[in-house]
Chains A and B, each alone.
Chain A
Amino acid sequence: MIEIKDLKASIGEKEILKGLNLVVKPGEIHAIMGPNGSGKSTLASVLAGREDYEVTGGEVVFNGKNLLEMAPEERAREGLFLAFQYPVEIPGVSNMNFLKAAVGEVRKHRGEEALSAKDFLALVKEKSALVELDGQLAHRAVNEGFSGGEKKRNEVFQMAMLEPKLAILDETDSGLDIDALRIVAQGVNAMRSPERSFIVITHYQRLLDYIVPDVVHVLYKGRIVKTGTKELALELEEKGYDWIKETVA
């Protein structure tokens, strides 16, 4: 699915990713944990194509293609989805117009026919129910006036609409209460399939009770410093990150 080799990226003069390696196979769920500031969101942003970051080394192969050469929209159309840690509010742009355009682009790229207005609305209904998103929210401006939880659920809703091959969830659990967490996890689990992979970035083990990962990585100072099974997440929960910091130091 995706192969990241020795990826290095900086912002301004500051190197943040310092040679990161990661391979995710189809159908797998990988969790990436790590203390604040270790580069988790940077990794997600670089993969999604945010232009603020400069890739200074390494390569990323996504389904056989050179990901780093693609514009953000090409990556999305190729099936990469990033659920933002901080979803952006876009006043005046209706969720529906936006989603219709996005779904249209992705389907066109896949060589699928455009959805009729009726089928599109039916899809919206089905997918918003998946994350128990109030139907009215779909008609409002993108994320405008949404609560923190609504924004995160809107991300998962969009993911469900776009049916990506690889979804990267950047702290989609942060700021959620236990019910919202369960709803988000339920949305993700409903989308699990042998052809779809997930990279779940989280700060807490809690989410992984609901979305059970195949592999857990620890990202620290721009590198993956430890890889294990879901038990690693439990160990981190128990011992905190200091233990990792000491091991690396």
Chain B
Amino acid sequence: MERVLNHSIQKWLDATLAFDTIRHQNHDAVLASMESLEFPHSKMEDWKYTRTQKLNQGQWVLQRSEVISDPEFQAVSSVQTQMRSGFFGCLNQVAPTEAFSLDIAPNESFDEPFHFVIKSNEDWAWTQPSFELTLGEHACAKVVLHFIGKHNGFCNALLDVTMMEGSHLDLDIIQDNDDSFFQILDIRVDEASKSHCNVLTHTLNGGWTRNNLWMSLNGEHAHAALSGFYLPQDGQLVDNHTVVDHRVPNCTSNELYKGVLYDKSKGVFNGKVFVRKDAQKTEAYQSNKNIMMSDDATMDSKPELEIYADDVRCSHGSTTGQFDEEALFYLRARGLSALGAKQLLVSAYVNEVINRSNNAEVVTFVKQELSARGRIIADEV
């Protein structure tokens, strides 16, 4: 069948042909849906603040990632992730470079986290990993997805999380990419009643990072916690687009994203909260806070609440500002250098997010990593 695709995406699809990818069960439908798409650009609402030219100009070579994972993650040969509407989600689905699933059986409960480390090691490496996590009824698990991107590669990852009734998931995403690395991570979480999902995105580093997180509360008394922090420096970009979709009554969501922006870096936060007409007694909290460490850094923060139910408790707040000068002076007046005082304040600021993780191992790891890089001061005493 002849497809008519916009020329801006044709070259991306052509580039997938040279590599033997995993097949999505809806491959043809995904491909058909791409007929109406074009490569993302700044005139599109979803891409208003995030430049894509450099990514589009890359001489990317599709290839497999290096994977280090706990054995419970199974390689799959037919991908079943839900269809996406955006270009990069579709792109992942027409050509996944590897696909893994983790199924936690009903009533199974694990204290030990499941780890999945995914690495890209070469210049111009382009990888498209695909993940499916399923938690059976009343299952309980902690999962860590750890991305390491070396050199100027591009990782376009996609993850579906399906949570059955009463299940509980702590999902920590660690993004640790080089300054010239591009990453897109598209996550979709579906929560059945009484399920509880806590997603935390630790963006330690990376040249260009775009995260889409969509959490859908489909059953009553489900809870979604979503958080993230970002500390971009130099010319780095971190863009978090989140959606919390309250579809039914009596669900709660709590969102906190915090950023510290240095040098000429750029941050984008777009947080949508939908409260559908039937979703009475919803409690939805959202907060995005940013500290600008330089006059050249920019932050575009946009909360979007669309509330169609009347008996709800929702709040959102977005702040972007400088350091608390009073606190800075107080610390310096006790002998801390201006830099040391700022580091201490940044640490406290970021720790509020890191400490929302229920994975003690990750909390320690992330704090140690950031402190080894001089980004924060690890807890002492």
Q: Which of B335, B344, B345, B377 contacts A77 (CB 8 A)?
A: B335
Q: Report the separation of the CA atoms of residues A106 and B351 in the bound assembly, to the nearest whole angstrom.
A: 26
Across the interface, name the chain B residue whose C-beta is closest to A86: B326
Q: Which residues of B contact A106 (CB under 8 A)?
A: 335
Q: Tell me if B84 counts as interface (CB < 8 A to partner A).
A: no
Q: Tell me if B327 counts as interface (CB < 8 A to partner A).
A: yes
Q: Which residues of A contact B351 (CB under 8 A)?
A: 92
Q: Which residues of A contact B379 (CB under 8 A)?
A: 94, 97
> Which of A68-76, A128-136, A225-233 makes up part of the contact surface?
A68-76
Q: Which of A50, A51, A117, A158 contacts B334 (CB 8 A)?
A: A158
CB interface residues, B 284-324, toward A, < 8 Å? 324
Tell me if A92 and B333 are in contact (CB < 8 A).
Answer: no
Tell me if B344 and A120 are in contact (CB < 8 A).
Answer: no
Tell me if B332 and A93 are in contact (CB < 8 A).
Answer: no
Interface residue tally of chain B, by bracket?
20 to 34
Tell me if B340 and A49 are in contact (CB < 8 A).
Answer: no
Tell me if A73 and B338 are in contact (CB < 8 A).
Answer: yes
Q: Which of B327, B329, B349, B380 contacts A50 (CB 8 A)?
A: B329
Q: Which of A93, A105, A109 contacts B348 (CB 8 A)?
A: A93
Q: Which of A51, A73, A97, A121 contacts B335 (CB 8 A)?
A: A73
Q: Report the separation of the CA atoms of residues A175 and B336 in the bound assembly, to the nearest whole angstrom.
A: 28
Q: Which of A82, A103, A117, A141 contacts B333 (CB 8 A)?
A: A82
Tell me if A73 and B381 are in contact (CB < 8 A).
Answer: no
Q: Report the separation of the CA atoms of residues A141 and B352 in the bound assembly, to the nearest whole angstrom.
A: 12
Q: Which residues of A contact B348 (CB under 8 A)?
A: 90-93, 141
Q: Tell me if B337 counts as interface (CB < 8 A to partner A).
A: yes
Tell me if B333 and A97 are in contact (CB < 8 A).
Answer: no
- Residue with the greatest number of chain B CB neighbours at <10 A, chosen from A93, A96, A141: A93
Q: Report the separation of the CA atoms of residues A87 and B215 in the bound assembly, to the nearest whole angstrom.
A: 42
Q: Tell me if B330 counts as interface (CB < 8 A to partner A).
A: yes
Q: Report the separation of the CA atoms of residues A88 and B338 in the bound assembly, to the nearest whole angstrom.
A: 16
Q: Tell me if B331 counts as interface (CB < 8 A to partner A).
A: yes
Tell me if B330 and A90 are in contact (CB < 8 A).
Answer: yes
Tell me if A101 and B381 are in contact (CB < 8 A).
Answer: no
Q: Which residues of A contact B347 (CB under 8 A)?
A: 92-93
Q: Report the separation of the CA atoms of residues A102 and B349 in the bound assembly, to the nearest whole angstrom.
A: 19
Tell me if B333 and A48 are in contact (CB < 8 A).
Answer: yes
Q: Report the separation of the CA atoms of residues A99 and B335 in the bound assembly, to the nearest whole angstrom.
A: 10
Tell me if B340 and A105 are in contact (CB < 8 A).
Answer: yes
CB interface residues, B 361-381, toward A, < 8 Å? 377, 379-381
Tell me if A97 and B381 are in contact (CB < 8 A).
Answer: yes
Q: Report the separation of the CA atoms of residues A90 and B334 in the bound assembly, to the nearest whole angstrom.
A: 14
Q: Tell me if A243 counts as interface (CB < 8 A to partner B).
A: no
Minimum CB–CB distance for A135 against chain B, Å:
13
Tell me if B337 and A90 are in contact (CB < 8 A).
Answer: no
Minimum CB–CB distance for A32 against chain B, Å:
19
Q: Which residues of A contact B340 (CB under 8 A)?
A: 101, 105
Q: Report the separation of the CA atoms of residues A84 and B340 in the bound assembly, to the nearest whole angstrom.
A: 20
Tell me if B381 and A117 are in contact (CB < 8 A).
Answer: yes
Q: Tell me if A98 counts as interface (CB < 8 A to partner B).
A: yes
Tell me if A73 and B327 are in contact (CB < 8 A).
Answer: no
Across the interface, name the chain A residue whose C-beta is closest to B350: A92
Q: Which of B329, B333, B345, B381 contacts A93 (CB 8 A)?
A: B345
Minimum CB–CB distance for B229 against chain A, Å:
13
Q: Tell me if A25 counts as interface (CB < 8 A to partner B).
A: no
Q: Report the separation of the CA atoms of residues A105 and B339 in the bound assembly, to the nearest whole angstrom.
A: 12
Across the interface, name the chain B residue whose C-beta is closest to A92: B348
Q: Which residues of A contact B341 (CB under 8 A)?
A: 73
Q: Which residues of B contact A48 (CB under 8 A)?
A: 333
Minimum CB–CB distance for A46 against chain B, Å:
12
Q: Report the separation of the CA atoms of residues A141 and B344 in the bound assembly, to the nearest whole angstrom.
A: 12
Chain B positions within 8 Å of A, measured between CB atoms, are 324, 326-327, 329-338, 340-341, 344-345, 347-349, 351-352, 377, 379-381
Chain A positions within 8 Å of B, measured between CB atoms, are 48-51, 71-73, 75-77, 81-82, 84, 87-88, 90-94, 96-103, 105-106, 109, 117, 120-121, 141-142, 158, 162
Question: When A and B form their complex, which 5 residue pairs have the shortest distance between CB atoms, in order from nearest?
Answer: A92-B348, A76-B335, A105-B335, A72-B332, A102-B334
14 new A-B pairs (CB below 8 Å) besides A73-B333, A96-B381? A72-B329, A72-B332, A73-B332, A73-B338, A90-B330, A92-B349, A97-B381, A100-B380, A102-B331, A102-B335, A102-B336, A105-B336, A117-B381, A162-B335
